Amino acid sequence: PDIVEKSPNGRYIRYNEILGRGAFKTVYKGFDEIHGLEVAWNQVSIDEGLQSQEQIERLYSEVHLLKSLKHENIIKCYCYWVDNETKTINMITELCTSGSL
């Protein structure tokens, strides 16, 4: 698969393969180069729909909360960062390969 980008720390790589798409978020297949695991690379556009600073801060808060939660029925969030150049919030989460939401 084609590598499209890497996380700022160089640990995670994003492929061009889209796993899902919503109104504000696109989920790509990714890879954790340290643990050798496939991951989900979630990319949220700050431009589309998140105009106010309050909305952006709320999203940061929710992502931080998700990262702190540890439960077998909640997807693990391994890492997140803001890319000011592309105006996106990127989250690396556990890849769920079966089931539905």
* Domain extent listing, the chain: 3-93
Element of type H or E holding 27: strand 25-32
CATH (one of 1.10.1740.10, 3.40.109.10, 3.40.50.261, 3.30.200.20) for 3-93: 3.30.200.20
Please report the pLDDT score of residue 100 as a whole number.
56
Please report the pLDDT score of residue 21 as a whole number.
94
- How far apart are the C-alpha atoms of 11 and 92, rounded to whole Å? 10
- How far apart are the C-alpha atoms of 20 and 58, rounded to whole Å? 23
Tens-digit pLDDT profile for residues 21-46: 988 889 999 999 999 999 999 998 88
Judge whether residue 82 has pLDDT over 60: yes
Q: Which residues contact 39 (CB under 8 A, 6 or more apart)?
A: 12, 30, 31, 32, 78, 92, 93, 94, 95
pTM of the model: 0.83
- Stretch 72-78: mean pLDDT: 89
Judge whether residue 6 has pLDDT over 70: yes
How many other C-beta atoms can be found within 10 angstroms of the C-beta atom of residue 83? 14
